[in-house]
Structure 1
Amino acid sequence: MIYPAPKHLNILEGTFDATKGIYFNHTKDSKKAEAAFKNPILEKKEDHHIENLTFVKDAALSKEAYGIKVDKTGIQIFYGTVNGLFYGVKSLIQLHKIKKGKIPYLNLSDEPDLEFRGFMLDISRNKIPKLDTLKKYVDILSDLKYNHFELYIEGFSYFYPSFEHLYNEGMTPITPKEYRALEKYANARMIDLVPCHNGLGHMTAWLKHYPELAVMPDGMFFWGSHRDPSTINPLDERSLELVKSFYKDALKSTKSNYFNINLDEPYELGHGKTEEEAKKIGVGELYLNYVLKLYDFMKDNNKTPLIWGDVLNHYPDALAKLPKDLIFVDWGYDYDYPFHKTLKQLGDLGVKFLAAPGTSSWNSITGRTTTMFENIRNAILHTKLNKGLGMLLTDWGDNGHLQMLPASIPGIVYGGLESWNARIHNQREMREYINLFVVEDLLGRTGQLMLDLGTYVDYETPYTYNASKLVSLFTVAKHLNPHDLQGSFYLLYKDHPYGLMSNFSFMLDKMSALETAISKLRFSKNDDILIQSEMLTSVRLVKSFMMVVRMHGQHVTSTEFNDYKKWLARHYAPLMKEFKKLWLKRNKSGGLDESMASLITIGEVVKIVQLLTLTTSKVEQRNSLHRDGRKMTVMH
């Protein structure tokens, strides 16, 4: 009846008729919560109205607690602070909508399980949302009673005035003016917009301009390939001054008491220029010394810093030396990440912490539904058991941020429901919430379809970490030999499960059925129609990827090859146009070309396969060549 589910709800006999509206007199506190009242069912009382909603302040209630009482005399909302009043009004609006104005007599009391209920959106992997899009995120978060929002920034996705000379015309960063406007909008909806700027690892963009500050200026080899330098040298005072300089720019545009300095994934730490010092004092102490310098800087600026946990989780002695007010954010994004171990260690050491699961939307196009559920559930459960501060749900944009908003919505909804009232909610409630409050679905099907879109990965074996098996291979497409794309694709995908698995046709049929079902959805708002278009484009991208991989697999039949060739000839080029159009509906133009690099490479392969006709004899010939280890030739 109410989402997230309240702690205590007692339904009584009788119904209060509010079908004609809910009328109230504004108070000093209700004016501060005015953003919650922006709903047509709520009206300020006029002379001809009878007041049927009153607000009762109760100092005994905690900051975010509220109560609702409905009886024959009307509706009362009890609250301790403006935050509680805001949430009480939000719940009342839900009640009115679900019950179509005929609200049952009831007594309700509610407050959250977790103090911090946060969401982080990556805006630094090509996709930088427009201000209106960011406000839409705030609306979604606010309705779910989130109270913390971060925009993940590395490189130049935020405009730092002190470094104006490092930007070019093609860049479209978030400006300080936009950030302040978003903060005002979020604060009015009881959400703290917390600055989030990386300052140790993930510094590749900065090190292109300041190569002398890199730990390893020539980069290093990891994850199967050579990588550009990404970690700034923490032993060089010039590194600290650079980071402080752009942090100072960011500090000028925030009222938050917090600042996420990140400091994750410093892959080169302990190597290169830091190797000698790491041998003396250890990587953990080396990292801690840098953390403490930035901690002092943030405290001097009246901010409490947050840092990621991936480094110090491995160095408990250094971890125990963290300042007691610093907030440690333990991240892990797969179904089996050991929150039960890591969060217990933090709790035992008395470290203030947030758990950071993920929406599982990235590296998948349409999401990874099963992983999302397990990951968020485990994070919140063990945060509660170990007395953590809360949750910071992450939505990353790895490898071009190809996923669209609908892929992230299920995780945002589940994270919001569970962080308020843990271990209560299930898929049915998620579906209902999405259909009623995220979109206005006239058929009541969108929620289930959003969840179903992220289930294709369940048929991929073995499990792939942090990605779907399908999309993880396409992320390397832009690095293939441009002079032999067809041959490169064959070598890359000949042993891929999509080229081998016997149930491939079942998976493709499943995605086609989802495509048909999505096309039949009916909405009453233009933005909901945009969500439908994003869902359709996403499922068609996955279908295209599946077909391209299958065509290069050992076990493709001639009939399959030629059928997929025809489908791609009709659909792939229009699909790329639609992808661009949808990107620009919600996001700025900067980064679009970089994001599409792998899609364009696949498009070139699609053009090549149009020149091919595969017959049964050629399938046998190709497989024979593969078995014999001879070079494959293009078959015209």
Structure 2
Amino acid sequence: MSNINLLNYITKYEAAAGYFDYKQISMPQYTEFNILNLIKIIFPEGIEESNAHTVDFEQTDHIVPQGYRLSIKPKSIKVTYNTLSGAAYSLITLKHLAMQAENKIPCGEYIDEPTFPVRGVLYDISRDKVPKLETLLRLTDIIFELKYNQLQLYVEGLTFEYECFKNYLTEQGYLTKQEILTLQEYCKQRFIDLVPNQNTLGHMAPWLAIDDFSPLSKNPEGELAFGVLQPSATLDPGKPESRQFIKAITEEMLSVFNSDNYNVNLDEAFGIQTGEEYSNWVAYMESLCKIYDKNMLMWSDMLNTYPEIKSVLPRNAVLLDWGYEADYPFDMECKILAKEGYKFYVCPGTSAWRSISGRTDNMIKNTDNAIVSAIRYGAEGIIAAEWGDCGHWQTYPIAITGIAYIGLCAWSGKPLNRSVLTGYLNDQVYGDESKQIGDLLYDLGNLYLDDELMLLNGTFAYHYYCMGIASKEQKQSYIKALLDWMIPYAERFEQEGEKEIVKYLKAPLKENYSKQLQFIENQKSKIQKLHLNCGDKKTIIFELYLTAAMLEFSLAIAIYIENPDKSMLMEMKPALEEIIVKFRKNWFERNKSGGLEKSMQNLFEIKNQIENALSSL
């Protein structure tokens, strides 16, 4: 029983004597079509059908939607459910029980239902990485087994097949409508709502960088974001042409999706200058949603900038409260949303972006914090955000760790210990006979805990690639620029009683390069011992080695900055060239080619820096 992690994240288990031998499982020959289809999806290896079957199904209204009850006896299993999704989740639980119990399933009553009716994943397909269809299908399989029921593919710019703007699309740089339709049907069979998602006010830089669209910019000269003047990224909501443009891309995207929902985003509109200007645009987007009979989803962060708009936003919209740090003030924000009577979801993140190997502890604390506040103030859903900021450098398994933890918590409504997450990754995601990959991914994601300084929204492993072959003075200036926006941002947390985040941003720098290098070397030796049984096992192993190599090279940059040495540059040059080759190979394995060169810009820049430095010495 101690090995059955699943008992930590189901609602209730009432134990009974004995075991059911999973090898004796068989389904009734008269099973209705819908249940039969579920069996084929969840058990692709097949299950015997027999008149002398061991599994029976019963539909009842006495169980909540999506919930189920498994009554397991030594010679029989009874599945009781309300909605078909509940039947599907019961079969997933049965499958996981068999795996974790090594086919000897403990008898008893397994009573389970979700804490939140909506449990979703937001997956960034716009910051350079546009995944292949097979990558998205694999992701869908993973989140289905985690009992997620919503998937959003974040579109920023031209990563959807806009036929009305076909001339501006980049070859292999977008998802086609046919791919969306195929994915949508695949999701439907797994009770996952594929929700259209595109930014419609801020984050419009890819569009506004095109000459034909630049007149739509609110601030052509650029806009201040995170302490730095950034390229223009906000539409001018006062121009009729902006409305016409957004109506065109909305109409085209919604023509493909069957979902009742539409995420219009509306976050980080840094170019907007008044709350009235923002709320007027929100009203326009609400009118579009009404035209197309969609429920509007939107981020809630602009309430922090313009608190006066909290009473005028559409009451039928679903507000998405996002924050990605361990001590993010979800409690205060959820309290406001609940008091104003809004429907809302709470949105923690995987903490994988801008990190190389993740930030495991931050992701877990961020999620636990979000779940507590969501329950306390009546949120209707949890969305796991997997962003691709700054090149989308995290490899696929690094992202999956956070998606798995958030999914388990979104269903169970409670924090889970390390062994539950690592066990799930070992057994359900990767089928690792060595039982090592869960701990390996968990620990790789905590390399940042030995960074010189704890940063927001990223790690030094990523930031050294931005610094490049810099001097000590340039490094100090780079860090100062980061802290100049991070500390004021974090002081908002401090004002709400969470002082820890400000404390570690102001801590003195520490140097742990040797310790981190030794840790990475130890993890590489563990990769060799993995014995995975998943369809993409070779790619997973390749990605783990690539992650380790990128971490090592980041530390090489750090060491060189402290002690510039020609011989070290000579060693770094072939190491970087190998990373570039492997980065490219892995990209083509999972993603379309569009966006690759842009994602690799920092790698190419460092390569040029090394070559120039060697030629001048």
Distance in structure 1 (CA, Å) of the matches to 2:138 and 2:466: 29
**One-letter identity of the residue aligned with 2:475:** Y
Larger radius of gyration: 1
Q: Secondary structure at the match of 1:286?
A: helix
Q: CA deviation at 1:35?
A: 5.3
Aligned to 2:493: none
Q: CA deviation at 1:523?
A: 2.3
State whether residues 224 and 270 of structure 2, in contact with CA within 8 Å, keep that contact through their aligned partners in structure 1: no
Q: Secondary structure at the match of 2:363?
A: helix
2:91 is aligned with 1:89: yes
- The TM-score, its normalising length taken from structure 2, stands at 0.90
- The correspondence of residues 539-550 of structure 1 with structure 2, limited to 5 A, is 539-550=548-559
Further displaced range: 443-452 or 215-224: 215-224
State whether residues 124 and 154 of structure 1, in contact with CA within 8 Å, keep that contact through their aligned partners in structure 2: yes
**Is there any run of 5+ residues in structure 2 with no aligned partner, and where?**
480-507
Q: Secondary structure at the match of 1:9?
A: strand
Q: Secondary structure at the match of 1:226?
A: strand
State whether residues 443 and 521 of structure 1, in contact with CA within 8 Å, keep that contact through their aligned partners in structure 2: yes
State whether residues 213 and 236 of structure 1, in contact with CA within 8 Å, keep that contact through their aligned partners in structure 2: yes
Aligned to 1:616: none
2:463 is aligned with 1:472: yes
- From 573, 589, 597, the counterpart of 1:593: 597
Q: CA deviation at 1:423?
A: 1.9
State whether residues 404 and 534 of structure 1, in contact with CA within 8 Å, keep that contact through their aligned partners in structure 2: yes
CA RMSD, 1 decimal: 2.1
Aligned to 2:115: 113
Aligned to 1:151: 153
Q: Secondary structure at the match of 2:156?
A: coil
State whether residues 457 and 468 of structure 1, in contact with CA within 8 Å, keep that contact through their aligned partners in structure 2: yes
**Is there any run of 5+ residues in structure 1 with no aligned partner, and where?**
271-282, 478-485, 612-633
Distance in structure 1 (CA, Å) of the matches to 2:478 and 2:461: 9
State whether residues 216 and 229 of structure 1, in contact with CA within 8 Å, keep that contact through their aligned partners in structure 2: yes
State whether residues 18 and 102 of structure 1, in contact with CA within 8 Å, keep that contact through their aligned partners in structure 2: yes
Distance in structure 2 (CA, Å) of the matches to 1:215 and 1:442: 55
- From 159, 166, 169, the counterpart of 1:167: 169
2:55 is aligned with 1:63: no
- From 320, 323, 328, the counterpart of 2:314: 323
Distance in structure 2 (CA, Å) of the matches to 1:587 and 1:168: 14
Percent of residue pairs identical: 29
Q: How many residues align?
A: 582
- From 576, 582, 586, the counterpart of 1:578: 582
- From 214, 224, 237, the counterpart of 1:211: 214
2:26 is aligned with 1:22: yes
Q: CA deviation at 1:570?
A: 4.2
**One-letter identity of the residue aligned with 1:492:** Q
Aligned to 2:528: 519
- The correspondence of residues 292-331 of structure 1 with structure 2, limited to 5 A, is 292-331=283-322
Distance in structure 2 (CA, Å) of the matches to 1:284 and 1:568: 50
Task: Specify whether residues 148 and 222 from structure 1 end up closer, same or farther in structure 2 by C-alpha distance, changes over 3 A only.
Answer: closer
**One-letter identity of the residue aligned with 1:180:** L
**One-letter identity of the residue aligned with 1:194:** V
2:516 is aligned with 1:507: yes
Aligned to 1:493: 475
State whether residues 357 and 445 of structure 2, in contact with CA within 8 Å, keep that contact through their aligned partners in structure 1: yes
Q: CA deviation at 1:28?
A: 4.3
Distance in structure 2 (CA, Å) of the matches to 1:299 and 1:228: 32
State whether residues 214 and 233 of structure 1, in contact with CA within 8 Å, keep that contact through their aligned partners in structure 2: yes
**One-letter identity of the residue aligned with 1:249:** E
Q: Secondary structure at the match of 1:215?
A: coil
Distance in structure 2 (CA, Å) of the matches to 1:524 and 1:141: 18
Distance in structure 2 (CA, Å) of the matches to 1:206 and 1:225: 20
- The TM-score, its normalising length taken from structure 1, stands at 0.87
Q: Secondary structure at the match of 1:462?
A: coil
State whether residues 467 and 475 of structure 2, in contact with CA within 8 Å, keep that contact through their aligned partners in structure 1: no
Aligned to 1:258: 261
Q: CA deviation at 1:112?
A: 0.6
Q: Deviations over 1:121-153 (max 9, x none)?
A: 111011000000001110110000001110000
State whether residues 129 and 594 of structure 2, in contact with CA within 8 Å, keep that contact through their aligned partners in structure 1: yes
Aligned to 2:345: 354
Aligned to 1:279: none
Q: CA deviation at 1:442?
A: 1.9
Q: CA deviation at 1:20?
A: 4.1
Distance in structure 2 (CA, Å) of the matches to 1:88 and 1:365: 36
Q: CA deviation at 1:516?
A: 2.1
Q: Secondary structure at the match of 2:23?
A: coil
- From 45, 60, 64, the counterpart of 1:40: 45
Q: CA deviation at 1:62?
A: 1.4
Task: Specify whether residues 293 and 327 from structure 1 end up closer, same or farther in structure 2 by C-alpha distance, changes over 3 A only.
Answer: same
Q: Secondary structure at the match of 1:12?
A: strand
Distance in structure 1 (CA, Å) of the matches to 2:551 and 2:279: 43
Distance in structure 2 (CA, Å) of the matches to 1:80 and 1:330: 31
Q: CA deviation at 1:557?
A: 8.3
Aligned to 1:74: 76
